[in-house]
Copies of this chain bind each other. A is one copy, B any other.
Amino acid sequence: MEVRIPKRTLAEGLSILERIIPNRSSNPILTYLPLELNQQGLILRGTNGEVDIEVQLPAEIQGVGEVLVPAQTFAQIVRSAPGELIELIFGERLELHSGAFNTQLATTSPEGYPKLNFDRPDAEKIPASGLAQAITRVRYAASTEEYRAIFRGVQLEFSATGLRSVASDGFRLARYDLPLSLSSKKLVIPARSADEVVRVFKDASGEVALSVNEGTLTLVGDAVKMSVKLMEGEFPDYARVIPQSFVLEATLPAEALRESLKRVAVLSDRNNHRVNLLFNGHKLDIDAEGDYGRGREELTVESNGETQLMVAYNAQYLIEALTPIEGMIRIRLSGPTSPSTVQSVDDPGYLAVVVPLRV
């Protein structure tokens, strides 16, 4: 059993797995990396108990078989290998040759390693980059609190009109719509696992096949298969917190607002990060005051509706709501203490809801 593979191909494959394979585990076999040779090439696998990943790498193969090697050590060796090509010879020890460098690495029998299963007959395909984008746009709004655990996930809603992603922590909400035609299902991915889905698929071209079975989402891309344990339950009805009527609407560049909020927020109260936004015709005055003094900046906006309105936000929440937006934003106020919406003028799929601070 032998394989010859470009160092770069193998290193890229390992980089996909490295973050999920634990360095330490109460089940030490999970710190090992299964290396399998079969007709498809060299197969690498890993799991952290929540997310399973399998990577298939094209390689020059002789024979079939499988060994386990210590994952961290193997990855370090591959990264530091001096040659452009790496040759692996499977045996009681795994021999690795690259340039003038030779290693014999201790191996362990693949028995006892959990069976990872990625085969799903009922899969439906969506663009890999679109899936990653839908998660990325809303991820920031997910909760980090133990309280109401379901909000520690990102909800994905598949329907005949598309994929909708939603995240919320009860104080703000982010929603993203990707137009597609899909069969209906609703699921919640733990936010950390959602980060892994993004990391694996964000730069992938082509499509990813999705299927749900026994509380697990399976994603199959061109070279990577992934399965993710889902959270139980679903979000409470969030649609009712999205305001439908507004008293003021303003349009301005996202970058200018974001930078101004960051500057002014330096002076804000350390506890609630309060910034006051005074909409006044075509002017928007942003100010904050805390223990260290006061900051103030004036921006120009296009506005419709009430001529003057003061509203206060947690600056961090408003800044994060702007993060996914390039170009112009539209902010709509339903009143000084009722929820506001933030949207991208150029990307109608994105909507954020931010609740003002009480005066």
Check A326 for interface membership: any CB of B closer than 8 A: no
Tell me if A292 is interfacial: C-beta within 8 Å of chain B: yes
We find that the number of chain A residues with CB closer than 8 angstroms to chain B is 32
Cα distance, A100 to B263, chains bound together (Å) = 11
Chain multiplicity (copies): 2
**Which chain B residue lies CB-closest to A94?**
B293
Contact B292 A262 (CB under 8 A): no
- Mark A102-129 against chain B: 1 for CB-CB distance below 8 A, else 0: 1111100000000000000000000000
Contact partner of A81 among B104, B263, B293, B299, CB < 8 A? B263
* A289-307, CB < 8 A from B: 291-299
A266 shortest CB reach to chain B, Å: 5
Listed stretches A39-47, A72-80, A187-195; interface member: A72-80
Q: How far is the CB of A74 from chain B (nearest CB, A)?
A: 9
Quick check: B295 and A106 within 8 Å, CB to CB?
Answer: no
Q: Are B260 and A103 in contact (CB under 8 A)?
A: no
Q: Are B295 and A260 in contact (CB under 8 A)?
A: no
Q: Quick check: is A267 within 8 A (CB to CB) of the other chain?
A: yes
Partner of A77, one of B100, B266, B298: B266
Residue from the list B82, B94, B291, B293 in contact with A263, Cβ < 8 A: B82
Is B266 in contact with A106, judged by CB distance below 8 angstroms? Answer: no
Q: How far, in angstroms, from A52 to B266 measured CA to CA in the complex? A: 27
The answer to the question of A199 belonging to the interface, with a C-beta cut-off of 8 Å to chain B, is: no
A292 touches B100 (CB 8 A): no
Contact between A106 and B297, CB atoms less than 8 A apart:
no
Q: Report whether A295 and B76 are in contact in the complex, using a CB–CB cutoff of 8 Å.
A: no
Contacts of A105 in B (CB 8 A): 267, 292-293
Instruction: Show the binding face of A for B, using Cβ within 8 Å.
Output: 70, 73, 76-77, 80-82, 93-94, 100-106, 259-260, 262-264, 266-267, 291-299
Known: A100-B298, A101-B297. 4 other contacts (CB 8 A): A70-B292, A76-B266, A82-B263, A93-B293
